[in-house]
A and B are shown apart, each in its own frame.
Chain A
Amino acid sequence: MFKKRCLFVWLTSLLAVLLVLAGCSGSTSKEPNPSKNANPKNQSLAKKEGNSLTIAIKDNLVSMDPQDTNDTLSGSIQSTMLEGLVGFDKDMKMIPVLAESYKASKDAKEITFNLRKGIKFHDGAPFNAKAVKVNIDRVANPDNKLKRYSMFELVEKTEAIDDYTFKVTLKKPFGAMLNNFAHPAARIMSPKAIKKYGKDVATHPVGTGPFKFSEWDQSDHLTVVKNPDYWQAGLPKVDDIKFKPVPENGARVAMLQTGEADFIYPIPTEQAAQINGKNGIVVENKPSIVARYMSMNTTKKPFNDVRVRQAINYAINKEAFLKVVYRGYGSEMDSIIPEGLQFYSKQTPYPYDLEKAKKLLKEAGYENGFETKVWGANNSDAMKAMEFIQQQLSQVGIKVNVVPMESGTLSDKIWSVQNAKDAEVELYYGGWSSSTGDADWGIRPLLAGDSAPPTSYNVSYYENKKVDELIDAGLQTADQEKRKEAYAEMQEIIWKDAPWAYLMVEDTMAGKKNYLEGVYLLPDGALSASEAEIKR
């Protein structure tokens, strides 16, 4: 009995202490607001010893073979070692890299690259047109079964015209081909290494980049070291970089706080405002090209009625969505593609207008609403987003059941459905990032009539003849003005047809120590660390 009384006293006091603690910590937590941070730039430089960097990333790395990689993260690490003929700068504008200049023919069927001279691969092999040909032939050969084959399946012929001129001919006109050459998949590997390692180049990447591959412990980290013979003067500026996958958000943030990592990506939006400006930490958020939307199955009742789809767009408060789900880190979607993509043309967003939504639903014969379900991933952001949509649509009488699914189930139930008639999907919350930076890859896979699953990702089963014509028109010419016109018209039509509930464009979120310069995220979420520099 005495023991029990002791226990009782203990528990009561423990409770009291916990309550007080909760009260204290609660009162210090404030609404984080990205625009109102104390200026993190004013901090003095944090201390850093040595000239090595550690970058903590979210997921495990898959492969170091650019032609057999379809995750952005692996591609990012490759970019420190491998370079392409063309590439993207900070804002995803195309720039020449290993090519000095390039020219596309008027009919969008031929591209000629003039290559830079005097560059050597890390293994000593010379960089020339033959090396480029080996690479492009490898990825364009269906027998090699590489993941990025689809981006180069249009290649008919590659020619090394002389040592430093490379020409590629396509089977049919494709105006966005140059963007595919700027994509990470078109980075050039040493032909000597391809021959030596065969399939194993995936663990032995050899390129022309500012860093050389050092080691890859698949359970822990991948390290790259300085390439002293790099062709661009002044680079690289650090001795080595260690990339360390740390899946747990909290652990990654802790690594940045203790200085174990110099750069972390991504940083969870919930914690961004809290750690920004302390311990020499700077949070960098910039508009990305990751669009967030909810697609509606346009072949199914009631979503086959454009008025219902528009009503749903009117019924969702996008500003509140941004605030609740992404803590304000992002911007409202104002076209079917984000502003960062080529040929983006601004549309008028659907304002938050419940009266109008109700009126449209009434016209469509759904005055009393209806019941439906929304599918989506089971991570906490997606679940929060779906719950938010559920709350918003309940205001106009639409009862939404939230069904989070893990990725295997999603792929079974959505992406592997063979026939549009068998598709059970009604609403789907998802997102898209077009890593070629071109409008075509931001629209065609998602909204072209022949892109329905399992071929591609048109989950709204949207089909509009005029749009399909415009998509073709946009591809059949390399004339930028004509392409621009086609994409502008297409965006306007689709915006009004509303196959999606347009939500928002995410920000890229990264945290770094303030002595670090030259490491940044591209709008597609890829990381660039080639110009990393430690300020003293």
Chain B
Amino acid sequence: MKNGTVDLHIKDGRQEAEKVRTPFLEFWRKFKKQRIAMIAAFFIGFLFIVALLGPFIAPYSAVEPDYENILSSPSMQHLAGTDAFGRDIFSRIIEGTRISLFVGLSSVFFSAVLGTILGLVSGYYGGWLDNMIMRICDVLFAFPGILLAIGIIAILGPGLGNVVIAVAIFGIPTFARIVRSSTLSIKETLYVESARSVGASAKRIIFKHIFPSTLSSIIVYFTMRIGTAILTAASLSFLGLGAQPPSPEWGAMLSAGRDFLNTAPHVTFFPGLSIFITVLAFNLLGDGLRDALDPKMKD
């Protein structure tokens, strides 16, 4: 990018005094050049604000029906129209933001924590432990993700809490694998070896020396994963296994609107659009993060 290099020159000129660049600054320098990822990041920030303020900014209640106004098309009163019970779809989407972000973040958080621990342990110790963990992961990989989630829901019963668990479980093996492969290469590096030679404990080496270096790949995958998690949670709700009425979960809203695809497309369009944009934003952000965090990518 032509403009980019020009910018850089100016900046470099101004920042002559700066001697050491912290990893964060280095990251920020690369990241802010990626316009799409920046837009995605701003959008996600905006989503969080919406999720926090939810009920205060929604023009109508998300659960209050209005039988005089069922399935009315988008208008100034109802920006995204109303659903089969006369509820304002725009307000429901706003309140649903909280649910989707909560499900996405919490489930990925759980799978990241568990997967990272498993990956570190398995990569560092190797041997039969590594074998066992990786074979279990292979078994989980063999299931199509959504099918595994449905299976878990079938055992636990429907409900949003169980969706979080289901989505979390099927995210674990990928995290474990990613972290394991970075661990394998990092544990051979000189600084780990020297730490070991001065007698650092295994726990200290794993968490103090290896874990920080795996962090960048975890962050990238974490972000990308949120999109998938939101999508899977929405799919489960669409199938009637997730959020239960009258919850304004986006997937459940899609499901309720599918009978009106021909007659009132706005009932499915807006929740669908919300899922689409949100998942896209997380994926683009993840893309940008990868480009910024990967040391092999030079500008």
A binds B: yes
**Interface positions of A (Cβ within 8 A of B):** 1, 4-5, 7-8, 11, 15, 18, 22-23, 25-29, 31-32, 249-250, 253, 268, 270-271, 273-274, 317, 320, 323-324, 378, 380, 383-384, 386-388, 390-391, 401-404
| Chain B residues within 8 Å of A401, by CB | 244
A31 CB contact (under 8 Å) in B70, B81, B85: B70
Instruction: Tell me whether A26 and B280 are in contact (CB under 8 A).
Output: no
A271 to B263, CA, bound (A): 7
Which interface residue of B1, B65, B258 has the most chain A CB atoms within 10 A?
B65
B85 CB contact (under 8 Å) in A1, A11, A27, A388: A388
In the A-B complex, list the 9 residue pairs whose CB atoms are closest, starting with the nearest: A26-B73, A320-B67, A387-B245, A26-B266, A22-B269, A29-B264, A270-B259, A25-B265, A26-B74
Q: What is the CB-to-nearest-CB distance from A103 to chain B, in angstroms, rounded to a whole number?
A: 50
Given contacts A249-B259, A324-B84, A391-B85, 6 further A-B contacts (CB under 8 A): A22-B266, A23-B74, A270-B262, A271-B263, A388-B85, A390-B246
Which interface residue of B84, B258, B280 has the most chain A CB atoms within 10 A?
B84
Q: How many residues of B contact A (CB 8 A)?
A: 36
| Chain B residues within 8 Å of A253, by CB | 262
| Chain A residues within 8 Å of B84, by CB | 324, 384
Specify the chain B residue showing the minimal Cβ separation from A269: B259
B269-299: CB near A (< 8 Å → 1, else 0) gives 1100100010010000000000000000000
| Chain B residues within 8 Å of A384, by CB | 84, 256
Specify the chain A residue showing the minimal Cβ separation from B245: A387
B67 CB contact (under 8 Å) in A5, A25, A27, A317: A317
Q: B36 near A: Cβ within 8 Å?
A: yes
| Chain B residues within 8 Å of A386, by CB | 245
A293 to B237, CA, bound (A): 27
A1 CB contact (under 8 Å) in B1, B261, B264: B1
Instruction: Tell me whether B260 and A323 are in contact (CB under 8 A).
Output: no
Instruction: Tell me whether A323 and B262 are in contact (CB under 8 A).
Output: no
Residues 28-42 (chain B) with a chain A CB within 8 angstroms = 34-36, 39
Q: B145 near A: Cβ within 8 Å?
A: no
| Chain A residues within 8 Å of B277, by CB | 15
A11 to B35, CA, bound (A): 14
Q: What is the CB-to-nearest-CB distance from B88 to chain A, in angstroms, rounded to a whole number?
A: 14
Q: B71 near A: Cβ within 8 Å?
A: yes
| Chain A residues within 8 Å of B240, by CB | 378, 383, 404
B74 CB contact (under 8 Å) in A22, A270, A320, A380: A22
Which interface residue of B67, B70, B261, B280 has the most chain A CB atoms within 10 A?
B67
A131 to B244, CA, bound (A): 56
Instruction: Tell me whether B73 and A324 are in contact (CB under 8 A).
Output: no
B246 CB contact (under 8 Å) in A18, A270, A274, A387: A387
| Chain B residues within 8 Å of A32, by CB | 263
Specify the chain A residue showing the minimal Cβ separation from B63: A391
A250 to B280, CA, bound (A): 29
Q: What is the CB-to-nearest-CB distance from A391 to chain B, in angstroms, rounded to a whole number?
A: 5
A270 to B267, CA, bound (A): 13
Instruction: Tell me whether B36 and A4 are in contact (CB under 8 A).
Output: yes
Which interface residue of A26, A250, A386 has the most chain B CB atoms within 10 A?
A26
Q: Contacts A324-B70, A324-B85 given: A270-B260 contact, CB under 8 Å?
A: yes
Specify the chain A residue showing the minimal Cβ separation from B72: A31
Instruction: Tell me whether B67 and A26 are in contact (CB under 8 A).
Output: no
A4 to B261, CA, bound (A): 32
Specify the chain A residue showing the minimal Cβ separation from B255: A380
Q: Contacts A31-B71, A384-B256 given: A11-B269 contact, CB under 8 Å?
A: no
| Chain A residues within 8 Å of B81, by CB | 26
A160 to B186, CA, bound (A): 94
Instruction: Tell me whether B256 and A271 are in contact (CB under 8 A).
Output: no
| Chain A residues within 8 Å of B72, by CB | 31
Q: Contacts A25-B265, A383-B245, A404-B240 given: A18-B71 contact, CB under 8 Å?
A: no
A390 CB contact (under 8 Å) in B67, B73, B245, B273: B245
A278 to B266, CA, bound (A): 23
Q: What is the CB-to-nearest-CB distance from B276 to chain A, in angstroms, rounded to a whole number?
A: 9
| Chain A residues within 8 Å of B34, by CB | 4
Instruction: Tell me whether B263 and A274 are in contact (CB under 8 A).
Output: yes
Which interface residue of A11, A22, A401, A402 has the most chain B CB atoms within 10 A?
A22
Residues 58-97 (chain B) with a chain A CB within 8 angstroms = 63, 65, 67, 70-74, 81, 84-86
Q: List 15 A-B contacts (CB under 8 A).
A: A5-B35, A7-B36, A8-B36, A25-B266, A26-B74, A26-B81, A26-B266, A27-B73, A27-B74, A271-B263, A380-B258, A383-B240, A383-B256, A391-B65, A402-B245
Instruction: Tell me whether B71 and A391 are in contact (CB under 8 A).
Output: no
A388 to B85, CA, bound (A): 8
Specify the chain A residue showing the minimal Cβ separation from B299: A1
Q: What is the CB-to-nearest-CB distance from A83 to chain B, in angstroms, rounded to a whole number?
A: 38
| Chain B residues within 8 Å of A403, by CB | 244
| Chain A residues within 8 Å of B263, by CB | 29, 32, 270-271, 273-274
A32 to B71, CA, bound (A): 10
Instruction: Tell me whether A26 and B85 are in contact (CB under 8 A).
Output: no
| Chain A residues within 8 Å of B273, by CB | 15, 18
Q: What is the CB-to-nearest-CB distance from A253 to chain B, in angstroms, rounded to a whole number?
A: 8
Q: What is the CB-to-nearest-CB distance from B39 to chain A, in angstroms, rounded to a whole number?
A: 8
A401 to B266, CA, bound (A): 27
| Chain B residues within 8 Å of A8, by CB | 35-36, 39
Instruction: Tell me whether B265 and A11 are in contact (CB under 8 A).
Output: no
Residues 225-252 (chain B) with a chain A CB within 8 angstroms = 240, 244-246
B96-115: CB near A (< 8 Å → 1, else 0) gives 00000000000000000000
Q: Contacts A22-B74, A323-B70, A391-B65 given: A274-B85 contact, CB under 8 Å?
A: no
Specify the chain B residue showing the minimal Cβ separation from A319: B67
A42 to B81, CA, bound (A): 33
| Chain B residues within 8 Å of A320, by CB | 67
